[in-house]
A and B are shown apart, each in its own frame.
Chain A
Amino acid sequence: MLKTDVAIVGAGPAGLSAAIKAASFGADVIILERDKWLGGQLVKQTHSFFGSKNEYAGIRGIDIANIFADELEKMENVQIMLETPALGYYEDNILTAYSPQGKMLKIKPNTLIFATGAMEKMIPFENNDLPGIYGAGAVQTLMNVYGVVPGENVLMIGAGNIGLIVSYQLVQAGVDVAAIVEALPEIGGYWVHASKVRRMGIPILTNHSIIKALGKEQVQGAVVAQIDEKWQPVKETAREFQVDTICLSVGLSPLIELLWQSGCHIVYSKELGGYVPILNEDLETTVPGIYVAGDASGIEEATSAIIEGHLTGCAAAKKVGYEVPKEEFIKARKGLESLRAGPVSQHIRKGLSLIRR
């Protein structure tokens, strides 16, 4: 059995920044990651990040993953276990995992940080299960990590940041984007991304939704219509797009199965993307010693995940007895506060106000 001060599940931006922080105060850290690389979804982010210099603004996501990996490599008190999915956490404080050699591992951590991330949402429409319909993140992975394009022409559903960015990346990969369809009256993503795709001539249809996908064995087209304020299709506005790919960018849901299984108190929050854990100001769940950072605590983006990682890294190290200056906590909390200050984050603030204890 392995023993450690801090075990971290998930090696995305939240998990890695938590590991670096906790280890910097002297804590022993084990990171468990189901994929075979560090960085989680950062590895497919070919665009530069925004925000402040402290959180890697101006650097592409793929390069941020490498910065984290280099930093962790220098730390002797961090053990990284790739291709090792965590399986469960039990009453006797044992975390189980599955090793790449096919062995069951038992780890006894003093504290635990879940940084398990999120998965893509689906929306209901006729034929929404046809091959050729992808989550936007899946398309990003296929193109930017494995160098394979999903098809020749794409209809993008959702004009949030992911929909806009992936549309741009599709064009970079030589794929035609027919249109971006957005059910809301306004574009949800940043103007800088929206402007980029508009400059390339891609129409963004607000107040529109997909009605059905066409095709028998795989996508051969899509029907899109304008929708009214009750989200019902407006008569005689339906039009057909000749596409072989439909890309869904309609939001994410936190991956909280392990938190649920660990006995943490979970509630539903529309604003934060689904079921989320109740957390205190250190991002500790209702089970003492279990912390949550990143999208698993509510859907935001990579920069807030990095700062939440810092905060939980500090809190976990302190919990096991290492000295952590007060200023570290203040800095992380202030960082999150300023990230969430803008009008775009209104729903996040509302969601968080309901689940913080």
Chain B
Amino acid sequence: MRIKDHPILSSQPARTVTFTFEGRTLEGQEGEPIAAALHNAGIKVLRHSPRLNRPRGFFCAIGNCSSCLMVVNGRPNVRVCVTPLSQGMKIEYQEGKGNLDVED
């Protein structure tokens, strides 16, 4: 959910872009971290832990804790808390430690 009225901060209008999350089309603001756009859409589970398959969410917001690794445009292990959103991005859950699409 976005903040509408704030006593101190004023929001600068950013361009609205569309992206997909697990095939669903969603809207976000260009340049905000992917995790913020997902949060705004009510998506809090960002990955599952590789061994025990426990849900993980947004934790540190500074790219340090590895709780938010996702697949972005086919690339795994992207820290979505510090990666800016852009038009047409494809965001997906990651399987385990992630796979690179490498040709044999």
Contacts and interface: CB of A to CB of B under 8 A. Distances in A.
B26 to A, nearest CB: 13
Nearest to B10: A147
Given A148-B40, A218-B45, A135 B59 contact: yes
A70 B92 CA distance: 40
Contact of A143 (B3, B64, B65, B81): B3
B3 to A, nearest CB: 5
Given A133-B59, A172-B8, A146 B32 contact: yes
A25 to B, nearest CB: 32
B6 A173 contact: yes
B40 A137 contact: no
B61 interface: yes
Interface stretch (A14-22, A124-132, A197-205): A124-132
Given A148-B3, A148-B39, A172-B6, A119 B57 contact: no
Contacts of B70: none
Contact of B57 (A149, A173, A218, A255): A218
Nearest to A60: B8
A300 to B, nearest CB: 18
Nearest to B12: A147
Contact of A218 (B7, B8, B44, B60): B44
A142 B64 contact: no
Chain A facing B: main interface SS: loop
Interface string A15-58: 00000000000000000001110000000001000000000000
A150 interface: yes
B40, B59, B62 pick with most chain A CB within 10 angstroms: B62
Given A119-B60, A132-B57, A147 B45 contact: no
A206 interface: no
Interface string B71-97: 000000000011010000000000000
Interface string A161-174: 00000000000111
B3 A138 contact: no
Given A130-B57, A131-B55, A137 B1 contact: no
Given A119-B60, A129-B54, A132-B44, A148 B8 contact: no
Given A129-B56, A142-B39, A147 B9 contact: yes
A119 B7 CA distance: 28
B58 interface: yes
Contacts of A119: 60, 62, 64-65
Contacts of A135: 59-61
B23 to A, nearest CB: 19
Contacts of B1: 148-149, 152
Interface of A: 34-36, 46, 60, 119-120, 129-135, 137-139, 141-144, 146-150, 152, 172-174, 217-218, 255
6 contacts: A129-B54, A131-B57, A131-B58, A142-B61, A147-B2, A148-B1
